[in-house]
């Protein structure tokens, strides 16, 4: 069948279908018109992303304080942060432990990484402890943490123990928009930094209490905990163990106080 007859056959089929449809239509008086509605413009539906669910809201006011102060931009906040902490930590020796360059960003990075395996050292916001990490070796070639090692952390623990938690909480609340901004810069635009902070505090408070002696191994260069369950802990939890039982209890006590201050309003509303 050539193209002409093939085209004719197709046309006849279309006409037959059309006539069949017309025969089945009910009879109406007057001319029949077909109104074809204009195509409706495509509506672009923009779904608004839900607001991040906030578990622990930062209190607007924790204590009676001076009139509100202007909040500096994040990139210009180092001087303000230093001033706040110099008023908080009156002991010059202790205040020198803090590193104020990009303090807020560094604090956010370290906080977020405390639940990971390693801490990025270039973001530390406190001076590294002096001295060398001390160990003890036994005759049967076992390695243990030397309790004398814990004194390396005493100055830092003394700093933490000296903090007025109410005043510290006030500073945190005042600077909180900057902490949140720095957290969003890390890639968390839909999350709430205060929730992350409370989450990390809870993780630290869950650190198992370990008594001396703490056995170590040295498979390569760095020491590791000999017990697999300790080696599997987060970097923050390992740090609490490395500073020693007594120092660890001081830190735990302060973390509990901070958590109580920053969750008081939320907990009351539950």
Confidence band, pLDDT 50/70/90 cuts, at residue 194: very high
Confidence band, pLDDT 50/70/90 cuts, at residue 8: very low
Mean pLDDT computed over 219-241: 95
Q: pLDDT (tens digit, 9 = 90+) per residue, 43-60?
A: 444 445 555 678 887 866
Q: pLDDT (tens digit, 9 = 90+) per residue, 22-46?
A: 433 334 344 433 343 444 444 444 4
As a whole number of angstroms, the distance between CA 225 and CA 135 comes to 12
Q: How many CB atoms lie within 10 A of CB 237?
A: 19
Q: pLDDT (tens digit, 9 = 90+) per residue, 63-73?
A: 455 566 789 99
pLDDT of the residue at 52: 60
Q: pLDDT (tens digit, 9 = 90+) per residue, 233-260?
A: 999 999 999 999 999 999 999 999 999 9
- 195 compared with 269, residue with greater pLDDT: 195
88: closest CA among 181, 205, 197, 167? 167
Query: In whole numbers, what is the pLDDT of the chain averaged over residues?
Result: 81
Where is mean pLDDT largest: 16-20, 194-198, 217-221? 194-198
Domain boundaries, the chain: 74-268
pLDDT over 50 (residue 20): no
pLDDT of the residue at 23: 36
């Amino acid at each position: 069948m050539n193209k002409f007859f093939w085209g004719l056959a197709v046309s006849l089929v279309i006409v037959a279908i059309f006539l069949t449809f017309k025969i089945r239509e009910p009879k109406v008086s007057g001319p029949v018109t077909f109104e074809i509605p204009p195509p409706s413009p495509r509506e672009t539906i923009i779904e608004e992303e839900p607001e991040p669910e906030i578990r622990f809201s930062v209190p607007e006011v924790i204590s009676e304080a001076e009139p509100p102060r202007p909040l500096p931009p994040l990139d210009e906040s180092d001087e303000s942060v230093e001033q706040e902490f110099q008023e908080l930590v009156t002991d010059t020796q202790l205040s020198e432990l803090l590193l104020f360059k990009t303090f807020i960003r560094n604090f956010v990075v370290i906080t977020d990484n405390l639940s990971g395996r390693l801490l990025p050292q270039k973001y530390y916001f406190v001076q590294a402890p002096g001295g060398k990490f001390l160990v003890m070796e036994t005759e049967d070639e076992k390695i243990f943490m030397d309790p004398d090692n814990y004194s390396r952390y005493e100055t830092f623990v003394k700093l933490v123990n000296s903090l007025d938690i109410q005043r510290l909480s006030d500073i945190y609340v005042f600077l909180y928009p900057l902490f949140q901004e720095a957290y969003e810069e890390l890639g968390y635009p839909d999350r709430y930094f205060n929730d992350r902070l409370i989450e990390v505090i809870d993780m630290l408070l869950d650190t198992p209490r370990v008594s001396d002696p703490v056995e170590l191994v040295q498979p390569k260069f760095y020491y590791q905990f000999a017990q697999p369950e300790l080696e599997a802990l987060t970097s923050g939890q390992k740090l609490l163990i490395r500073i020693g039982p007594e120092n660890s209890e001081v830190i735990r006590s302060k973390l509990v106080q901070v958590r109580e201050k920053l969750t008081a309003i939320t907990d009351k509303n539950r």
